[in-house]
Every structure is written in C-alpha cells, then in structure tokens.
Structure 1
Amino acid sequence: MMKILVVDDEPDVRTLFEQRFRREIRSGSLAFSFAYSGEEALGYLHEHHSEVVLILSDINMPGMSGLELLRRVRTEPAPPPPPRVMMITAYGDEASRNQALALGADDFLTKPVDFAALKEKLLALPSA
C-alpha cells in the first residue's frame, strides 16, 4: 500500500481525492491522509514519517507555502527514505516550476488536476 499525504488548504480536496481514487482506496493499493496547511503537514510527517511515501502539496497556501514545506522536507533531518514530493499549483508559471524543481520536487502538476494522469503516475511508482 502506498500512503500519500495531500496538502491543500481547499476543504473540498479531500472529497475530490476520495471520489476519484475510490477503487484504489477500497482495494488497499493507495491510502490518503490530508493536511490543510504546511504546518499541519510537517506535524503529521513528524508523527508518521515512516508511513508516508509521497506528498502531494499545493504551492499557494496561507501561512507556510508548499515551496517552504518542500524546502523543509528536503533539508531537515528525517529518517530515510525521504518521501517523494509532487507540487500542485493553479499557477503553471515557469518561476514556480523551476523553484519547485530546484528545491527537490519530483514532479509538478497544475490545477485543475488531471486525475487520470495522476492515477497513472501514482500506480506506476514503486510502493515503498
């Protein structure tokens, strides 16, 4: 099972992911946890560091941005393996993309998320 932490300040994101990945959740191939801020995500990672395989994070959030979360995930000491990180943003501008990749993002997606393509990417990843 691949455990994924979705970080987004939009409250409807949880429902959207649970609907779009219903079959994978039910079969046990994917499991999702949700954080609504970068700060909440860091807290979750400190408590569940060995479980999370992938972080899907929005870039633009109040408080700690997704880029700051990415920087902290990549630079603060944590038990290996470091989770994969995919950044999601409504702004597909090159500056955000380049900054995310420079900070160590594994992938970069734009909103609205193409869930069919995301599902293919997730199911193609090794599960741990």
Structure 2
Amino acid sequence: MNALILVADDEADMEPLFRQQFRRDIKAGRFDLVFTTSARQALRIIGDAGQHDILLLLSDINMPEMSGLDLLARAKAARPNLPIIMVTAYGDADTRRRALAGGADGLLPKPIDFPALRVEINRCLAQWGAGP
C-alpha cells in the first residue's frame, strides 16, 4: 500500500500546484496525494484507518465549516502519531502558537516553500520506512 499525503485546503487551485511540484515522486510511487476541500472530508479519510496509510496531513487553517485547528484536534484524537503540518496565509505568532500547542508538527506559510515541504516529506518517508 502506498503512503498517502492528505491535503485539506478549500482552495481548489492547490491540487494542480502540488501535483506539479511532486509529479516525479508520484510517478515513481514514493507516495500518492489525496486532496479534500473540507476538514470534514479529511476526517472521513482519516477515520477510515484500514483503507489508508497516511504519511502526512497538510491542512489549511482557514476553511469554511470547520477550521484547520479543529481538524488538527480531531485528527490527533483519531491518529495520535499522524504528522500534521498546518498551512496558512496568516503566519503570525499567535496562529503558530495555537497550531503547535494543538499538536501540529509544523506550520508552513503561504505561498508554500516547496523545498522546505519536501524536507518534511522526506523525513516522514524515512520514519515510515520508505526512505528519501
């Protein structure tokens, strides 16, 4: 079973951007990308533990219906060892403090620094046993 990187972001234009950045990794079978446009959709995937081996959750903070910070709390309750990186256009100190206090493994500002994200993905792959 391939490792999945789950991306929860209500901005639909994020999917083609991620697919372009990681096209070689996807083609090589290092991991698959799964996108959701809501926190609720992400929780359904996370809750389906038998079907998905999730390597990493990347979640926007500001989403309608349920915020990324609420998703963070619920995802950590369902899968305490799941690495979660929050992505936000608001990288202020309070947002960072709240995300890290909630169990996030990191916070990436938008626009996303894809080389920094690649480092995090490689770290998760190494811990998962797939290597960089």
Q: How does the TM-score come out when normalised to structure 2?
A: 0.87
Q: Which amino acid letter does the alignment assign opposite residue 119 of structure 2?
A: E
Q: Which amino acid letter does the alignment assign opposite residue 75 of structure 2?
A: V
How far residue 51 of structure 1 moved from its aligned partner, in angstroms, is 1.1
Q: Tell me the residue number matched to 1:18.
A: 19
How far residue 3 of structure 1 moved from its aligned partner, in angstroms, is 1.4
Which secondary structure does the structure 2 equivalent of 1:43 belong to?
Answer: helix
Q: Which amino acid letter does the alignment assign opposite residue 65 of structure 1?
A: S
Question: What are structure 2's unaligned runs of at least 5 residues?
Answer: none
Percentage of matched positions with identical amino acids: 45
Q: Tell me the residue number matched to 2:29.
A: 28
Which secondary structure does the structure 2 equivalent of 1:73 belong to?
Answer: helix
1:1-128 matched pairs, under 5 angstroms = 1-48=2-49, 50-75=52-77, 78=78, 82-125=81-124, 126-128=126-128
The number of equivalent residue pairs is: 125
CA distance in 2, matches of 1:69, 1:7: 9
Q: How does the TM-score come out when normalised to structure 1?
A: 0.90
Q: Does the aligned pair in 2 maintain the 1:57–1:87 contact within 8 Å?
A: yes
My pick for the range that moved more, 42-51 or 82-91, is 42-51
Which secondary structure does the structure 2 equivalent of 1:39 belong to?
Answer: helix
Find runs of 4+ consecutive structure 1 residues off by over 6 angstroms: none
CA distance in 2, matches of 1:36, 1:102: 24
- RMSD after superposition: 1.6
Question: What are structure 1's unaligned runs of at least 5 residues?
Answer: none
CA distance in 2, matches of 1:81, 1:100: 15
